[in-house]
Structure 1
Amino acid sequence: MWRIAVIPGDGIGPEVTTEALRTLREVAPDVEPDLLDHINADRFLASGTALSDQDFARVQRCEGALFGAVGDPRVTDPGYARDVLLRLRFDLDLYVNHRPTRLLHDRLSPLRDPARRALDCMVVRENTEGLYVGVGGAVRPGTVHETAIDTEVSTYRGVSRAMEFAFARAARSVCLVDKANAVPHNGSLWQRCFGEAAARHPEVATRHLYVDAAVMELVRDPTEFDVIVANNAHGDVLSDLTAQLAGGPGIAASANLNPRTGFALCEPLHGSAPGLTGTGSANPVAAVLSAALLLDCAGRTEEAETIRSAVRRTVADLRCTPDLGGTLTTAQAASAIRQALV
């Protein structure tokens, strides 16, 4: 049996995760889900507990995890989301955030030049360091003298292992994106690790762009990019941009993984989308493709490609939700994907 933790979470998370799990079971009948549907805002509001040590231990005993979404407008404490998703990332040492993006159909691209629409690239984001580690604080908060400090943390070990993953996954090239001209200490470490990885992989072409130039180049011609490697904050933003260039957050999947242990936590990019909760209009594609990524990370690439091929066919045939040009509900769109599995 293949044991995975399933954390539906908040908002549309339970709706799309249910459909993703059903699809996963069609191609991987040996999957054994451990459902942790109590990890959500309701429990946090009632008890103050986001992710208990017992919950974490259950996830840790699994071979991977499928995650829905975290976030609820009733919860104003930013510690809730941090204690769920960031704890899983940090404590499981899921040091790579791997976000592959491929245009599913020409009509979904916002670019007017057909020759530049065929986006097929990957953002590799260092996932356990940077600005998201929570180093910093505030002096005299709530006053006119408030001073806020957030410190960006990069280590040689953290940067070099993310860099190695990026070069190992490259088909053509790796582009380092940073802001070394304005943040020189972090920038010099990233560029050092980039140069060392490039020397180990002479067959891979390399390129360096500052983050502002990279954003412009992605919009001008995203087909130029194969693998982009960046720090936690830059990778977060760049992968949102590549998702939008491929059709929006409803089709974007990501994997938080530790390539050494093989553990992966896969999730859609779209978040909890509370305005869509219960409407039946949430797009299940990102969650379904997250299940495919989970298969990839488990070495089950044939089953993963079966799911991706089914998604491409249904989107091409307009058997999808309204955000992709169709008229189907969440459940109907997911059912169409399962019918297209061959």
Structure 2
Amino acid sequence: MKKLKIASLPGDGVGKEVVPAAQTVLKAISDVHGGLRFDFTEYPWSCEHYLKHDQMMPDDALDKLKDADAIFLGAVGNQKLVPDHISLWGMLIKIRREFEQVINIRPAKLLKGITSPLANPKDFDLLVVRENSEGEYSEVGGRIFRGEDEVAIQNAVFSRRGSERAMRYAFELAAKRKKHVTSATKSNGIVHSMPFWDEVFQSVKTDYPDIGTDSQHIDALAAFFVTQPQRFDVIVASNLFGDVLTDIGAAIMGSIGIAPAANINVNGKYPSMFEPVHGSAPDIVGKGIANPIGQIWTAKLMLDHFGEEELGNKLLDIIEDVTAAGILTPDLGGKYGTKEVTGAIAERILKL
């Protein structure tokens, strides 16, 4: 039996509602798959923890997490209680950086039964590979002077190693899909980092002659996500560009509540982390209407990461069967709650 140790971090807001929902689904999967078991250890780190202890996580948090096979995260943040730069850098980004989770993966797919805000979405099915460790989100920079003379400097850092690593990951994924990679760039306006990005992409693609490629400036690419999403397969992007594109991807699916993400450690030294794209949604906490699909689809990405791709694909098929049946939460125009959607998915799994 394959026993997987999962560190569960429900975090803030609806994270405490959707993480248990996804764990219910994973338990159903282990019930029908005799060779797979998930052992969850929950850690109560959150903005509430910060208010009590003046830190998002205890000093030994990473030591506790490092031996897990994966980290299953719900949501981080509560702007009314803790500023975002404290909550995110004190937990989410700290884990990403310290555990060398250098690749971020976010799919966007039109699911049956869900109405996209696009007039004609044409069954898009795309995947964004985001460089997750440097780029525009580097910590290099600072401020000088004060008052009207104050200056803020934020340096974008692009390494050949980091850029190439993300690109090769994208090409390897494209080889299993529709065999096309699009590079997100802005070399007509950003004169140093983006021409460098383009050069690395041109170099990497020579090692994948069977994969089609193109490069798109980020402003046009964002527009194409809205007007022609069906034309894309795998998109590789820098940290900021990937972040923006994936929120557009979530929006055109119909709700950010169904969008999943994976933060991948590629060297095997540390666990990878799996999280939905949505935030803590404090406006609907406790109402029982949080959409669990983002967290459950995130579980599918975790199964893929563990080499259980066939099982992961079955889970996504079941999710789509449930949405096609009209079992939807209010954010998707439905009338069902978190428990009803979760139960419908788990019930179908147990019938496998």
Tell me if both proteins adopt one fold, taking TM over 0.5 as the criterion.
yes
- Does residue 125 in structure 1 map to residue 127 in structure 2? no
1:331 aligns with 2:339: yes
Question: Is structure 2 residue 176 aligned with structure 1 residue 168?
Answer: no
Of the three residues 315, 319, 327, the one matched with 1:311 is: 319
How far apart, in 2, do the equivalents of 1:234 and 1:279 lie? 34
Q: How many residues align?
A: 338
Aligned to 1:5: 7
- 1:281 deviation in Å? 1.2
Amino acid of the structure 2 residue aligned with 1:105 = K
Quick check: 1:11–1:69 contact (8 Å CA) kept in 2?
yes
Structure 2 matches for 1:17-32, cutoff 5 A? 17-28=19-30, 30-32=37-39
CA spacing shift, 1:276–1:164, aligned 2, 3 Å: same
Give 1:221's aligned amino acid. Answer: Q
Offset at residue 77 of structure 1 (A): 5.8
Once residues 146 and 265 of structure 1 are traced to their aligned partners in structure 2, the CA distance between those partners, rounded to angstroms, is: 38
Q: In the superposition, relative to structure 1, how do residues 77 and 269 fare at CA in structure 2: closer, same or farther (>3 Å)? A: closer
Query: Hey, what does 2:162 align to over in structure 1?
Result: 158
Inter-partner Cα distance in structure 1 for 2:93 and 2:20:
23
Give the C-alpha shift of residue 216 in structure 1.
Answer: 1.2
Distance, in Å, in 2 between the alignment partners of 1:57 and 1:324 is 39
Structure 1 residue 259: deviation in Å?
Answer: 2.6
Aligned residue identity for 2:228: D
Q: CA deviation at 1:106?
A: 5.9
- Is 2:114–2:324's contact at 8 Å kept on the other side of the alignment? no
Structure 1 residue 149 and structure 2 residue 157: aligned? Answer: no
What's the secondary structure of 2:60's corresponding residue? Answer: helix
TM (norm. structure 1) is 0.95
1:247 is aligned to 254
Tell me the percent identity.
Answer: 33
Greater Cα offset, 7-16 or 101-110? 101-110
Q: Return closer, same or farther for 1:71/1:168 CA change in 2, 3 Å cut-off.
A: same
Task: Mark the CA change 1:28 to 1:196 in structure 2 (over 3 Å): closer, same or farther.
Answer: farther
Query: Aligned partners of 1:202, 1:67: CA distance in 2, in Å?
Result: 37
* SS class of match (1:75): coil
Q: Which residue of 1 aligns with 2:282?
A: 274
* 1:93 matched to 2:100: yes
**Pick aligned residue for 2:145 from 140, 145, 148:** 140
What CA distance in whole angstroms lies between the structure 2 residues aligned with 1:332 and 1:107? 17
Task: From 49, 57, 69, give the equivalent of 1:51.
Answer: 57
**1-side partners of 2:46 and 2:240: how far apart?**
25
Matched, 1:322 2:326: no
Contact 2:112 2:321 (8 Å CA) reproduced: no
Moved over 6 A (4+): none
Cα deviation, residue 275, structure 1: 0.7
Please list every run of 5 or more consecutive structure 1 residues that lacks an aligned counterpart in the other structure.
none
Contact 2:67 2:271 in 1 (8 A): no
| Residue from 216, 225, 233 that aligns with 1:218 | 225
Question: Take 2:30 and 2:204, find their aligned partners in 1: how far apart are those partners?
Answer: 36
In the TM superposition, what is the alpha-carbon distance from 1:207 to its structure 2 partner? 0.5
SS at match of 2:283: helix
The answer as to whether partners of 2:130 and 2:243 remain within 8 angstroms in 1 is: yes
The 1-side partners of 2:279 and 2:84 are apart by 17
The offset of 1:61, in angstroms, is: 0.4
CA contact (8 A) 1:166 1:228 kept: yes
Q: Report the secondary structure of 1:184's partner residue.
A: coil
Give deviations 1:223-271, integer Å, cap 9, x for gaps: 0000111100000000111111112211100000023318321100011
> What whole-Å deviation, never above 9, does each CA across 1:174-222 have from its counterpart, x for those lacking one?
0001111111211122112211221000100000011001011111110
- Structure 2: stretches of 5+ with no match in the other structure: 32-36
| C-alpha RMSD of the superposition | 1.4
| Matched residue, 1:84 | 91
Q: Secondary structure at the match of 2:74?
A: strand
Asked whether the equivalents of residues 96 and 124 of structure 1 are also in contact (C-alpha less than 8 Å), the reply is yes
Q: CA deviation at 1:51?
A: 2.1
Q: In the alignment, is the contact (CA less than 8 A) between 1:254 and 1:293 conserved in 2?
A: yes
